[in-house]
Amino acid sequence: MLDVPPPASISRRRLIGGSAAVAAAGLFVGALAAPSAAQAAADGYGLRIVDRNENGGRLQYYRFATDAIEWDPGVNVLLPDGYHTSGKRYPVLYLLHGGNADFRTFHLQDNIIGLTAGREVIVVMPDASTGWYCNPVSSFVGPRNWETFHIAQLLPWVDANFRTFAEYNGRAVAGFSMGGFGALKYAAKYYGHFCSVSSHSGPASLRRDFGLVVHWANATSAALDLGGGTVYGIPLWDEARVSADDPVQRIPSFQNKRIFLAAGTSPDPINWFDTVNETQVLAGQREFRAALARAGIAHEWREVPGGHFFRHDLFVQDLNGMLGRLRRAG
């Protein structure tokens, strides 16, 4: 299957993995209607394609120049079987990777092609570095506005270039670890975009334990994405940003959505990274679930043995639920 290494022209860039206010940053220059199978993707919405691999198979690769990100982020778009000849429109799953990963992770490590075989859904897997799906308070390496890239640019670009349902019931968002947090955040902040949200071992509470997740987000983004800058600010947080991004503080925004949460109950006691991550994830998801229950908001959850890793069996269960909630291809 397609494995696209970073082009030589961007070898200096790391591929380790606020509101979006620039929805009109670039005007789409292609046809307004969704393209036919024979049409190549076009620039638009502030995105200029600088590298691509479009083919007759399922996995398509694109890399964009965008003012939102200093380096050119990549995206894999996984099409359903038969897309090129069916003429159908399809629902879309935005699948978000964890920290210290990139847009290829679900393909190279998690067999996303096999996990979605025979399923009528388009899966979009974008780069996010270790930027926590945010527009940061500060960056010392140029723009790293991941939220703007994903929501204001990539989402409308996908709807313009593929046969999608560009509506609430046509989109789901899910992710692992940092991406699980990103999924919850995007679903709440951009309510009308996603009818289903799933967090696989993703933090769901930013302020618990004296803001441990905020401190972790600041530290990891500073080291791996922002050249010493931070997502939420140091030494003082941007409190409004924290509140806007915190799933526990956005409970009403999860009304009328399908919600799926998964966490491990027995992280490896010898592996401090595994223990710290999944212990905090589990506690935060329990807090979030309790808040959902108090508000009378239905949700699915799984607590299973193990630590901080992406569970393929739970993703398949989750995918079944997503497809039950999303508008059917046709």
Active site residues: 177, 274, 308
Cα–Cα distances (Å) from 44 to 28, 29, 278, in that order, read 4, 6, 39
Secondary structure percentages of the chain, helix, strand, coil, to 5: 35, 20, 45
- Start-to-end CA span in the chain (Å): 27
Name the β-bridge partners of 258.
Answer: 196
In terms of phi and psi (left: phi > 0; alpha: psi -120 to 50; beta: otherwise), the region of 255 is beta
Quick one: angle between helices 272-294 and 208-224, nearest 10?
Answer: 130
The DSSP H or E segment spanning 282 is: helix 272-294
Q: In a 10 Å sphere around its CB, with 0-12 CB exposed, 13-18 middle and 19+ buried, how is residue 315 labelled? A: buried
> Tell me, what DSSP letter sits at residue 249?
G
CA atoms within 13 Å, Cβ hemisphere of 128: 35
Name the β-bridge partners of 90.
Answer: 164
Structure tokens at 80: 């359903």
Query: What is the signed CA dihedral for 192, 203, 68, 37, rounded to 10 degrees?
Result: -60
Q: Cα–Cα distance between 298 and 153 in angstroms, integer? A: 31
